[in-house]
Every structure is written in structure tokens, then in C-alpha cells.
Amino acid sequence: MLKISNLTKLYNIVIGVNDMSVELPKGAYGLLGPNGSGKTTLLNLITGQLKPTVGQVEVLGERPWKNNVLMKRIGFSSALDILQTKTTGLEWVTLYTEMQGFRHKVAVDMAHKALDRVGLSSTDRIRGIDQYSRGMKQRCKIAQAIAHEPDLLMLDEPFAGLDPIARFELTKILTNWVEEGRGLLISSHILHELESICDSFLLMMTGRLLASGTIQEIHKLMTNVPKKIWIRTPHAPQIAVTLQSLEHIIGIDFHEDQGGIDVRTKAPNDFYRDLPSILIEQNLRIVEMQSDDDSLDSVFEKLLNLHRGES
Amino acid sequence: MISSSLAVFRYELKNSFGIGTTIFWIFVILFPTILQLLIDKYFVTTLDLSATILAAMIPGAVCLITILVAMTPYLSTELEGNLWPYVATRPYGRTAIMFGKYLVAVTRSLIAGLLAIAIIFPSTSLNQLNIDIPQPFQTSSTIGSSVTQPDQKESITENTELSLNIKTKELNASQDYPLWLALVCLVILSSICYSALFCLLGTIMYKRPMIIAIIYTLIVEVIISFLPVVANGLTLNFYLRSIYVRSMDLELEQPVLKAIFENPNFLSQSSTSWDLIFVGLLAFSFLFAANTLLRNREYHVGETL
């Protein structure tokens, strides 16, 4: 489906994508990375909007830059909001379907079908896009990407700005798409958004491909990264003394009011396993415990350090 | 590619008639008539002076302003509206958006220019000025009321069709054309050529297209085109005015106009056919260059990398 070889994209002196090589067979892939990690640049290279500075991209066996044949086989939705258009959703989707080479009447039918698929109601689709909510615009963008039934669908941050209901519905649409056996490449900076849709993931940071793998492999990476755990307890000194003897503990900081501690561990699973027995043995009590969310930032940081050979 | 361009043309033409844009457009179309009515009130015009003023007002202002608004920001609106990714991921999408919007600009300019001509002739003194030549947008009763006594109206009405035919034949024979026809030709040529020029400017300078186009027009198409130097041969204005003046074969009465149009440096010395070919080549090369640039350039939408 996708073959990337030594791909580099420079914007003058800024690196968008840095020496990336990867080969992906047909399937559903999540492209994960924090903002500014190069996901959009990579998608723009894959969709032929940008030309590689070094290396090459092959999508469905063809190079995308100035490739009119390939454009009929891919669908793309940008992360950017649609601005400055008073046209209706139906007209907008129809235009881009016509630009895929379909006659007007056929394109109108295909646009209706795509808008049905993304759940934009018949009354909403004949309203101006400038009156749409973010979620409706997102549906419209996806409709134009799927209307011509592409072999490979690429979506850049499709969940951005969506409310939980819209997220759920979009997830359903994309899950159906994948179940139909079509290719999907979807970018996000939040892992759990893509977990139920994609089989495999690519992790990017600072333009580099740091890792790739299945959801289990990503979770394994996440459990082994250092984590900070916030604990409120009336027995802070005793707990701190006991914990500091554990091998996986990196550091302990007391809260300013002495009513708790922040524990940093390089093996959170071990910590969660050991803590209850310590509390029971010493008859200690904790009132509240929280940890950082499972965002990918710490994974990315760790992977980047590994990539640089720092740890 | 043609069907995509036509799809863009249909879509853009429909969406170009917003309330604000249409009001502005109508004002631009009516502007020459209003100006001519004011001229009628305070001055006595001759054919050569009217022809010059009309050329400046209709193709030079109505068409140019229409094209400036419709064509120049064609790329920047796609980029600023975050619509470029959808264009660029269509087969021949870049070319289709350019040609589609080019056709819209030409169409709007043609409609504006022709409407301006249709309104200005029957409503102003140009009616009387051109009584000896056929007027396409004028009824026989208007001709009668403007220059004849009531008892003469009937004979003119009866003979209008005949006189038009005779006059057309005479004009064809002498190879010069009435003012309205020369203006129509000029509107057509200006619409095609200036749309192509502004298309190229909008492609090269897509970040400040309107400002660049206005500055370019003032410097190149106004100032340089009227300088008696070889460089004026590189402007569209030079060829268009040569075709216009030559096609009418005007008898110049005004000393200022004589000084301008009888100076060989102000008009092309080639034949009209060569001028037409040259203007056509210029328009084609503008579009070709714009398309080549558009297809080979990378455009960054938004700030994300």
C-alpha cells in the first residue's frame, strides 16, 4: 500500500520529515505523534501535495507527485477547517467528486451517497458550510474523500474538535470502512482515538519515525516509560522511606503541605503491584492517588532519547 | 481535465454572484454611463474623444476591475480558505481550478463589458453621435426621438432594417467598424487577455495578489504602455489599442488624440492580423506559464508542518 524510502522533506532549514523509511501492506494504520511532529507533512508528501527533498514515496505502487492517475485512487481529508465558503455541503462534495472525473449528475448521486454514509442529514447538506458546526464540516470533508470510493483513505486529525458523540459516529464510519477491506491511514496525537480503528501504528516525532507496531506493542512501550504518580496520604514520610528502597523508583518529592508525595518510577506496573502489599504490611493509608494520563508524550520522549542514543 | 474545468466554472460562476459582489459589479457596469451622462451635461464630445473615453471606461475600467476581482485572487482564496488540499489531490485539479476560474473571469468580464456597452449607447449622447452607423441595442423609436423631428420618425422606423443592411455592407467593404462593434471586439480581447495576465500574476504573487496586480497594471499597462519607447510593445494595452483604433479608422479631430495616435510609437506598426496573433500568443503564454508554475510549485496551507 505504501512504501517510503529514505524520505526527507526540508522547508528551507526546517526539517519536516527526516530520513524516513517504512513499508506498509494494505490495512488500517494510525499515524501518531505530538503536534509539529511531521504527520501533516508526511501525509502531504503521500498525497502528492509536496515533493520529497530526498528519497521517495510510493503509494499503491506509484509516485504521488504530479500523478493524476493515482489521485483517482486516493481520498484525503485535511486537518484544516474549511473557511470562506458559503456554498452548501452537497455542492461542495459534488464539486470535488466531479473533479475526480465524474459527470455532474453522477457526481450529485455519489455526493448524496457519501453524505448519507457520514450521516449529514438531507436538510443540513443543503445549508451553507459557513453555518456548519465543526463536526458537520468534518463529516463534509470525509464525504468528499470517500465519495469516489478510493482504494486508500487518508485523514489528517479527523477527530480534532469533535464532541464525544461525533467522535463515536466517526469511529463507526471508519471502522466500517476498514471492515470493507479498504486502506486507511489516519493521523492523530491521541492514541485511544485510533485504538478501535487501526491495527497498527506509526509513531512520529520531530520528523522521524520513532517506532511502529501493533496496539499491544505500543501499550508495552507505554507501560515501560517513566511515570509520575501523585499520592495524598497522612503517612507521607513512612511511605517515602519504604518506596525509596525499591529498585524502580527514580525519585520522590514531598508536597509543599507535607500531605502527600510525587513518586517517579521507571516501572509503573511494578509500582502498582508493590504498593498495596507495602501499605498492608506497614498499616499505612493513602487517601488519593493519581498518575499522569496515558498520553503518548512520555513514550515519544523516551523513543526520541533512544533514537539519539541517549539511553 | 476539461470536464473538471467546466465543473469548477459552473461552481465558481454560481458562487460568484453573492449580494455584495453583485451590487459592486452592477455599480461598475453603470459607472461608464453615469460618467458619460455627466460629460454630456458639461461638454460637447466628438467621435474620436468619445471612442477614447469609452475604451478607457469600458474595457479599461469595467472589464479590468471585474477581472481583477474575479481572477487575481483565484489561488490565494483556495489557500486562505484551506481548500487547496482538496484541489491538489484531484486528477488535474490544479489546472482545472485555474482554467475554471479563468473562464469565470472571462465570462464575468464579457457580461460586464457588453452590458455596459448596451446601457451606455441608448442612454447617452453617444446615441446621436453614432446616428450614421448601425446601433445594435437601439430601437428605431429611440433613434427617431433623439435626432429627428416627429414627422420624420415614421420613415426612419420603416427604413431602419434596410438602412442597417446597407450600412453593414458599406462598413464591411471599407474594412472599418462602428464604435460599438470596435468596443465589443475590444471587450472580448481585453477579457481574454487581461484574465490570462491576472491569472499569471495571481499565480506568481499568490500572497498579495490584488496589490501586486494593481501596481503592475498602473506601472506596466498604464504608464509604460504610453511611453514612446520600445518597451511599450511588451504591454497588452499597446496591441489592444492599436487594434481598436485601426479597426475604426477614426478621423482624429482632437489635438491631444492626434498627438498620441498619429505618433508611430504609440501604435503597433504591424497589421491587425499580426496584432491579433501576437495578443493571442501573449494570452496563451500567460496561461501556459501560470499552469506550469501551478503544477510544479508546492503550496503550504496553514501553519502546521
pLDDT for A84: 65
pLDDT for B270: 79
For residue A227, pLDDT over 80 is answered with no
Q: Cβ of B89 and A74 within 8 Å?
A: yes
Q: What is the mean pLDDT of residues A165-175?
A: 86
pLDDT for B154: 46
Q: Name the residue of chain B whose CA is nearest to A142's CA.
A: B86
CA B128 to CA A171: how far, in whole Å?
73
Backbone angles phi, psi at B88, to 5 degrees: -70, -20
Give the pLDDT confidence of A30-65 residue by residue, as tens digits.
998 888 889 999 999 999 999 999 999 999 989 999
Give the pLDDT confidence of A1-38 residue by residue, as tens digits.
889 999 999 988 888 898 899 988 988 999 988 888 89
pLDDT for A309: 62
- How distant is the Cα of B65 from the closest Cα of chain A, in angstroms? 22
Q: What is the mean pLDDT of residues B166-170?
A: 39
Give the pLDDT confidence of A130-161 residue by residue, as tens digits.
888 888 888 899 999 999 999 999 999 898 87
Q: Cβ of A98 and B7 within 8 Å?
A: yes
Q: Cβ of A101 and B83 within 8 Å?
A: no
CA B134 to CA B114: how far, in whole Å?
16
At residue B173 the predicted structure's pLDDT band, cuts being 50, 70 and 90, is: very low
pLDDT for A306: 64
Please name which of A61, A78, A79 lies closest in space to residue A70, comparing C-alpha atoms. A61
- How distant is the Cα of A181 from the closest Cα of chain B, in angstroms? 22
At residue B174 the predicted structure's pLDDT band, cuts being 50, 70 and 90, is: very low
Higher-confidence residue of B147 and A194: namely A194
At residue B197 the predicted structure's pLDDT band, cuts being 50, 70 and 90, is: very high
- How distant is the Cα of B46 from the closest Cα of chain A, in angstroms? 47
Residue pointed to by grid coordinates 466628438: B46
Helix axis angle, B236-248 relative to B47-57, nearest 10°? 150
The strands making up A227-232's β-sheet, listed across from edge to edge, are: A249-254, A260-265, A227-232, A288-291
Work out how many CB contacts closer than 8 A connect A with B.
96
At residue B269 the predicted structure's pLDDT band, cuts being 50, 70 and 90, is: confident
CA distances to A33, A154, B83, B235, B279 from A81, in Å: 20, 16, 9, 41, 41
Nearest residue, CB atoms, A85 vs list B8, B81, B89: B81
Contacting B with CB below 8 Å, chain A residues are 11, 14, 16, 35-36, 38, 40-41, 44, 47-51, 66, 68-69, 71-72, 74-76, 78-87, 91, 95-96, 98-101, 103-104, 107, 144
Nearest residue, CB atoms, A68 vs list B87, B91, B298: B91
Lowest-confidence pick of B35-49, B79-93, B137-151? B137-151
For residue A83, pLDDT over 80 is answered with no
Query: Kind and range of the H or E element at B201?
Result: helix B179-204
pLDDT for A208: 87
Q: Cβ of B96 and A99 within 8 Å?
A: yes
Per the structure block, which three cell numbers stand in for B87?
Answer: 484541489
Cβ-proximal residues to B42 (8 Å cutoff; 6+ apart), any chain: none
Q: Cβ of B82 and A36 within 8 Å?
A: no
Chain B residues lying within 8 Å of A104, measured CB to CB: 7, 10
pLDDT for B203: 94
Residue percentage of chain A with pLDDT more than 90: 38
Residue A9 three-state SS: strand
CA A193 to CA A158: how far, in whole Å?
10
CA B157 to CA B143: how far, in whole Å?
9
- How distant is the Cα of A96 from the closest Cα of chain B, in angstroms? 7
Helices and strands in chain B, H and E counts: 15, 0
Residue A16 three-state SS: strand
- How distant is the Cα of B293 from the closest Cα of chain A, in angstroms? 12
Chain B residues lying within 8 Å of A16, measured CB to CB: 305
Give the pLDDT confidence of A264-286 residue by residue, as tens digits.
888 877 888 888 888 998 888 88
Maximum average pLDDT range among B44-48, B137-141, B294-298: B294-298
For residue B281, pLDDT over 60 is answered with yes
Per the structure block, which three cell numbers stand in for A75?
Answer: 481520498
**Full set of structural domains in chain A with CATH:** 2-214 (3.40.50.300), 224-308 (3.30.70.100)
The strands making up A2-11's β-sheet, listed across from edge to edge, are: A14-24, A2-11, A54-59
Q: What is the mean pLDDT of residues A114-127?
A: 90
pLDDT for A196: 82
Contacting A with CB below 8 Å, chain B residues are 3-4, 7-8, 10-11, 14-15, 18, 77, 80-93, 96, 295-296, 298-302, 304-305
Chain A residues lying within 8 Å of B92, measured CB to CB: 68
Maximum average pLDDT range among B2-11, B176-185, B267-276: B2-11
CA A254 to CA A256: how far, in whole Å?
6
Query: Kind and range of the H or E element at A281?
Result: helix A268-281
Start-to-end CA span in chain A (Å): 34
Lowest-confidence pick of A67-81, B48-62, B197-211, B246-260? B246-260
Q: Name the residue of chain A whose CA is nearest to B304's CA.
A: A36
Give the pLDDT confidence of B115-162 residue by residue, as tens digits.
998 888 887 777 665 544 444 444 344 333 444 444 444 444 444 444
What value does the mean pLDDT of chain A take?
86
Q: Name the residue of chain B whose CA is nearest to A16's CA.
A: B305
Q: Any idea what DSSP says for residue A260?
A: E
pLDDT for A209: 87
Q: Are A2 and A46 in contact, with CB atoms under 8 Å apart?
A: yes
The domain locations on chain B are: 2-144+163-296
For residue A293, pLDDT over 60 is answered with no
Helix/strand/coil percentages in chain B, nearest 5: 75, 0, 25
Nearest residue, CB atoms, B89 vs list A48, A85, A86: A48
